[in-house]
Amino acid sequence: MELKGRIISRGIAKAEALVTLQPISFYGGVDPDTGIVVEKGHELEGKSIKGKILVFPNGKGSTVGSYTLYRMKKNNTAPAGMINKECEAIVAVGAIISDIPCVDKIDISKIKDGDIIQLENGVVKISRFHV
């Protein structure tokens, strides 16, 4: 399956998808040293976003979250790529300054946990090996 979106941050990435339908706050919501989601009650709480194609509707919370993404990139705990339903300023700026490929305007309900995603300049290729 192939989906076409809008490029937020250029680049190529291929990795396993981690999907949530809840917005993510990177500042305070994700531990930048481990890549683990720590926001209480978040459906990804306890899961690591490191090296994944992180699929979520949009970011939320403090604008410091852009720096958190940059910090994760430097710590090797950042996601390999990000796919949003509707990107906003925190994630967009974070993705650009950290060189994390990012695309939005994607129907994220079509992507499932564990799908192998290839992200290439606005095009999302989905391979599913599991049922």
Partner 1 sequence: MYLTREERKMLDGEEGYAVKKSMEILVALGEIFGAEKLIKISSVQVAGVSYHNLGDAGLEFLNELAKDGKVKVLTTLNPAGMDLEDWKKLGISEDFAKKQNLVIDAFRKMGIIISCTCTPYLIGNLPRYGEHIAWSESSAVTFANSVIGAMTNREGGPSALAAAFVGKTPCYGLHLEENRVPDVHVDVKVDLEKFSDWGALGYCIGKEAENKIPFITGIKDASIDELKSFCASVVTYGSKPLFYIKGLTPGSEKQKIPKEKITIKNEDIREAYENINDDIDEINFVCIGCPHCSINEIAEVAESLKDKKILPNVEFWVATSRPIKQLADVRGYTKIIEDAGGKFACDTCLAVAPLKGRFKAVATTSAKGCFYSRGTNEMKTKLGDIKECVNAAVSGRWS
Active site residues: 62
Handedness of CA 123, 90, 78, 55 (dihedral sign): negative
The CA distance from 102 to 105, in Å, is 11
Site size for partner 1 (CB under 8 A)? 23
What character string, x for contact with partner 1 (CB under 8 A) and - otherwise, covers 25-44?
-------x------------
The footprint of partner 1 on residues 97-116 (CB under 8 A) is 97, 104
Q: Which element (helix H / strand E) includes 89?
A: helix 89-98
Residue among 69 and 115 whose Cβ is closer to partner 1: 69
Is residue 81 a contact residue for partner 1 (CB under 8 A)?
no
Residue among 95 and 117 whose Cβ is closer to partner 1: 95
* Strand order from edge to edge, sheet including 12-19: 2-4, 123-127, 116-120, 12-19, 53-56, 81-84, 102-104, 6-9
Q: Which residues bind partner 1 (CB under 8 A)?
A: 6, 8-9, 32, 63-64, 66-67, 70-75, 87-90, 92-93, 96-97, 104
